Amino acid sequence: MSITFGLDFGTTNSVLAVSQNGNVKIVDIDPSSDSKKTLKSVLSFDEEGGVNIGQEAINQYIGYGGTYGRFMQSIKAFLPNKSFTETYVFGKRYEIEDLIALILKAIKQRGEAYVGHAVDTVVMGRPVVFSEDKELDLLAEERLQTAAIRSGFTNIHFMYEPIAATLAYESNLKEGKEKLVFMGDFGGGTSDFVIMRLRGGKRDPKENRKNDILSTGGVYIAGDTFDASIMWNKLAKHFGKGAKIYGSSSDQILDAPIWLPLTLCQWHMIPQLRGRKTLHIIRSLRGVSSKDRKVLENLHTLVIENLGYMLFLAIEKAKCELSDKDSAVIEFSEKNINIREEITRADFEVMTDDKFREITSCVNSTLSRAGVLAKDIDSVLLTGGSSFIPKVRRIFSDKFGEEKLLPIDAFTSVAFGLGLSAVRY
């Protein structure tokens, strides 16, 4: 039987599964990382034409303090963005498909090194919702397929990520054990759901499972969204939010442009602020600022020194600490920017309340489309990094009961399920 790949290309992390003779194994794809089986979905370019991915890219970025080369993250988030068609890196043109292909090709080559020969077939995960606009959703999948082709795959299939994670769980059920499960997959870019009937035991890999899938759902809210809320509510004031500047006369005080700190909240958009026109605006603001000159200096430094990723690492660290503690401190000290902000779990839940309401609404609509009630669900499975957030877990414990929440590997279950499905091809 041929060898195939299951590839979970995520907004934040990527994971690869190798499928051979009905056996699936998650393989190492980032030798530079402590967690070798997960690769950060990031790129760095240097002026000599070199390209690094994963932890090597991060090491280069941090090693040079963000000032050397070009660093890119959350590239998957651009897939449904029709206006993002190309970018130039040190004079070389890249389409979004090219950027993603660089990551996919490296993963493909590392997987092939493990098995010892070329692999042409891959089952790739995709969110239930790339975009609520069907045209943009289709565009995103087409772009991802093109990227896979450019990386060297010739036989490409897609599967919803929460379905893949559910199949991974089913593979461990006892023979004949039947369950109706609700799976929630909380990634960096989207939160996706599926309600599915499962049955333990050996199954024909080519079996059509369409009738077992009662409903799917998804919302474009996840880890990056929560980070953006922290940025806006806790840190944006250090980078121009609410800043005042002088108008045409010294006695005229105006608000600094709000779109600048708003853009900072989307970490993958921060490099766009380095464009000539935008930098001119930022520099001009420093010249006309009043008592708020320091925060506008911070804005200029953050952008010109390319420190956005480092800032969001500090945000993410604090957010993760809130999963286990009632409070955390966001600390960031780089290039004369010195920030220390306390954030409590209560703060975080208030500033993201509207996002959690949308997630709850999506959970309810997924149940409604399936035609089942919460009491009909036997088990609830949560995967993805954001599934550790206490408020996320409370949504499900309040709805289904704490006793129904079962553990599942938060970072590799999607790839494992994709690998199980790859047996079909």
Mean pLDDT check: name the lowest of 194-198, 203-207, 209-213. Answer: 203-207
pLDDT band at 407 (very low <50, low <70, confident <90, very high): confident
Q: Which residue has the higher pLDDT, 65 or 89?
A: 89
CB atoms within 10 A of CB 333: 10
Distance between CA 261 and CA 276 in Å, rounded? 17
Whole-number average pLDDT of the chain: 91
Predicted local distance difference test score (pLDDT) of residue 79: 95
The class that CATH gives domain 4-162+416-422 is alpha beta
Question: With the C-alpha atoms ordered 143, 169, 363, 360, is the resulting torsion angle positive or negative?
Answer: negative
Mean pLDDT of the 157-178 span: 94
pLDDT by residue (tens digit) across 137-163? 999 999 999 999 999 999 999 999 999
Specify the pLDDT at position 289: 61
Q: What is the pLDDT of residues 45-68, one digit of tens each?
A: 988 888 999 999 999 888 776 666
Whether 423 has a pLDDT exceeding 90, the answer reads no
Report pLDDT digits (tens) over 3-38.
999 999 999 999 999 999 879 999 999 999 988 999
Q: Who wins on pLDDT, 350 or 176?
A: 350
pLDDT at 1 over 60: no
Tell me the C-alpha distance between 27 and 113, whole Å: 11
Which class for 277: exposed (0-12), middle (13-18), buried (19 or more C-beta within 10 A)? exposed
The bridge status of strand 92-95 relative to strand 178-186 is unpaired
- pLDDT tier at 356 (50, 70, 90 boundaries)? very high
358-162-389 Cα angle (round to 5): 50
290 has a pLDDT exceeding 80: no
Q: Indicate the SS3 state at residue 351.
A: helix
Q: Three-class SS of residue 217? A: strand
For 249-268, the pLDDT digits (tens) are: 556 677 788 999 999 998 77
Pairing between β-strand 379-383 and β-strand 178-186 as defined by DSSP bridges:
parallel
At 292-332, the pLDDT tens digits run 888 989 999 999 888 888 999 999 999 999 999 999 999 99
Question: Residue ranges of the domains in the chain?
Answer: 4-162+416-422, 245-344
Say what angle helices 353-370 and 390-400 make with each other, to 10 degrees: 40
pLDDT the model gives residue 7: 98
